[in-house]
């Protein structure tokens, strides 16, 4: 008996929309990463991109627990000596609220070329509006 693996032509990708208003960041990120990776499908294949597209709205209204609003720090480096920049979650929410969710989901995907390809199917928007109405996205429940 041979093991069946999914081929790129066998995948019918769907679009999902998630409202992040008052949803805890980690719980949202784990569910979204699972759908992006395709682990919710019976034909999941670890070495293939068999996941769906996910659109997240209201990224600026995401909820965090504890004192993360003031203690969670995001770092980036310019590549030059002394070029380390840091930003607290509270400031990141004001400047770039999309990056909060993107960073959380990216950390839950594989750290290789497949993970980078999967990450391109995630679309995050700070407000209610998104330009993906033509794809007729379905609501994704976070239960």
pLDDT tens figures, 32-85: 999 999 999 999 999 999 999 999 999 999 999 999 999 999 999 999 999 999
- Is the pLDDT at 13 greater than 80? The verdict is yes
State the architecture of 14-64+97-134 in CATH terms: Alpha-Beta Complex (3.90)
Query: In angstroms, how far is CA 25 from the centroid of its own chain?
Result: 10
Distance CA 50, CA 28 (A): 20
- Is the pLDDT at 5 greater than 90? The verdict is no
- Is the pLDDT at 143 greater than 80? The verdict is no
Tell me what percent of the residues of the chain surpass a pLDDT of 70.
Answer: 100
35-45 burial code (b ≥16 CB/10 A, e <16):
bbbbeebeeeb
pTM: 0.92
Residue 134, pLDDT score: 97
Residue 99, pLDDT score: 97
């Amino acid at each position: 008996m041979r093991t069946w693996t999914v081929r790129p032509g066998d995948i019918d990708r769907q679009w999902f929309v998630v409202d992040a208003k008052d949803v805890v960041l980690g719980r949202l990120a784990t569910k979204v990463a699972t759908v992006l990776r395709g682990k919710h499908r019976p034909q999941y294949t670890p070495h293939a991109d068999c996941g769906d597209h996910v659109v997240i709205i209201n990224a600026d209204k995401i909820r965090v627990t504890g004192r993360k609003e003031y203690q969670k720090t995001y770092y980036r480096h310019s590549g030059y000596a002394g070029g380390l920049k840091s930003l607290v979650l509270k400031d990141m929410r004001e400047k770039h609220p999309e990056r909060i969710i993107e960073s959380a989901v990216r950390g839950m995907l594989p750290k290789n070329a497949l993970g980078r390809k999967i990450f391109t199917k995630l679309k995050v928007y700070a407000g209610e509006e998104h330009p993906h109405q033509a794809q007729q996205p379905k609501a994704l429940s976070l239960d």
